[in-house]
Structure 1
Amino acid sequence: MTTRQQRLAARGRRLETVTAAVTVLAAAILCAAVPADEDRTASQRRMKEQTQVAKGVSRPEAVDTRPPLSDPVQLPRSEPTRVLIPQLGTDIEVFAADAEDDGTPPTPDENDALRAAWYQGGPAPGEQGPALLIGHLDTDDGPAAFAGLGSLEPGAEIHVEREDGDTAVFTVDSVEQYQKDDFPNDRVYGLTRTPQLRLITCGGSWSQEDGYDANIVAFASLKS
């Protein structure tokens, strides 16, 4: 095995460690209920309504989940600093984070609701495999980092600014919603043939007791 292949294999093992632990817990942490504020207005309460992916947006056949290539076309590793989604008007900061203590992907704290967390134990945006960016959908105060993620359309661009000064541009392949008790770990976190991006937030129906009961995942592939 070459040195390059050894590095890729080691990186794959790191991601697989997290993949093995990420089941319902990942959704439960991200979509946990926020304590109720008795002074919240009715309009704020209505913000937390059922989300669903638009017809024609979920395209499972478009997502790259094949075994990785030995020498894929990819960018050198560099930390992401911002993510911009022109279709949604999103322009937010990204910060690097390790997995949670229980092995699940990082979830921004409530005071980081307007930023997205990048799982630094896995690929960086532009490297082979799925780079994971996790953000909140909303809070009691209003829309959060990944508000409107479920409305993204196939072909929409996602621009990820990187610490090295480059911008990795991804094209949305599919946007899908899964119940927390039926989250497809292999599909979302498994290694891929090409550089991929996964934007993950909460969705579905919301209740004060349990928070959101689903996750929304936007799948995108490297364009340039």
Structure 2
Amino acid sequence: MTTRQQRVAARGRRLETVAAAVTVLVAGALCAAVPAEPVAERDDRGAGLTMVAEGVSRPDAVDTEPPEAEPFVMPRSAPTRLSLPQLDADIEVFGADAEPDGTPPVPEKDDADRAAWWRGGPSPGQQGPALLVGHLDSVKGPAAFARIGSLKPGAEVVVEREDGSTVTFAVDSVEQYAKDDFPNARVYGPTKTAQLRLITCGGTWTKKDGYDANIVAFATIRS
């Protein structure tokens, strides 16, 4: 196994199905690179810590139920840009397939200012959870999803699409999970409406193991 393959394998587990006819990515860690010096606050032991902001974790607000009737959805179109007005962030998005071993697509370590859309799943605006994955930080500093953990409920997430349309989502909840306790069905399973998942690394950082958790922002289509 090459060094690249070892890094990929360490990020998560393989593709599996969590609901009928819905193949989803299963992952515990979604960062391709371990920064030499993390942007997260470090303690005197050299460990870094990043958490979601207080009051933004609202598990009961997240739609994770299968659809009961056909909802309004938009035609499929690849996302090209992501705007987060609360964070004053404008991020380029590119489509990507799963890694050869089935782990989620993640930007290369030298491409940390962009976010990857898993094109094996829904596009933003289609029914179900569209997945956008970005780095928290890199050796150069904060990366595309550096402040995802501070998004507040109701915050707008605006996605520009290849067909020239835009779709706006509202944040429902921002949650953090340990890599070995990642809720696959909750994050990747079927939903009644068009949903968005913004996923990055989180938790404690160490030079030996990198980050030990993931941060996920859940959002629902608004318009």
TM-score normalised by the chain length of structure 1: 0.84
Change (3 A) 1:130 1:44: closer
Matches within 5 A, 1:11-90: 13=21, 15-16=22-23, 18-19=24-25, 22-24=26-28, 27=29, 29-30=30-31, 32-34=33-35, 36=36, 46=41, 49-90=48-89
Q: Any conservation in 1 of the 2:105–2:117 contact (CA below 8 Å)?
A: yes
Show CA shifts across 1:81-116 (max 9, x none).
000000111101000000111112111111110000
Determine what percentage of the aligned residue pairs are the same residue. 63
Q: Any conservation in 2 of the 1:154–1:173 contact (CA below 8 Å)?
A: yes
CA RMSD of aligned residues (A): 2.0
Distance 2:142 2:114 in 1: 12
State the secondary structure of the residue aligned to 1:188.
helix
Structure 1 counterpart of 2:123, one-letter code: A
Structure 2 unaligned blocks of 5 or more: 1-19
Distance 2:135 2:97 in 1: 17
Counterpart in the other structure of 1:156: 155
Distance 2:173 2:39 in 1: 29
State the secondary structure of the residue aligned to 2:149.
helix
State the secondary structure of the residue aligned to 2:163.
coil
Structure 2 counterpart of 1:30, one-letter code: C
By how many angstroms is 1:44 displaced? 6.1
- Which is further off, 153-162 or 95-104? 95-104
Counterpart in the other structure of 1:146: 145
Distance 1:147 1:124 in 2: 23
Question: Moved runs in structure 1, 4+ residues, more than 4 A?
Answer: 43-48
Higher helix proportion: 1
Q: Any conservation in 1 of the 2:115–2:132 contact (CA below 8 Å)?
A: yes
* Pairs aligned (count): 201
Matches within 5 A, 1:1-224: 13=21, 15-16=22-23, 18-19=24-25, 22-24=26-28, 27=29, 29-30=30-31, 32-34=33-35, 36=36, 46=41, 49-224=48-223
Show CA shifts across 1:100-150 (max 9, x none).
111121111111100000000000000000000000001121110001110
State the secondary structure of the residue aligned to 1:197.
strand
Structure 1 counterpart of 2:31, one-letter code: L
TM-score normalised by the chain length of structure 2: 0.84
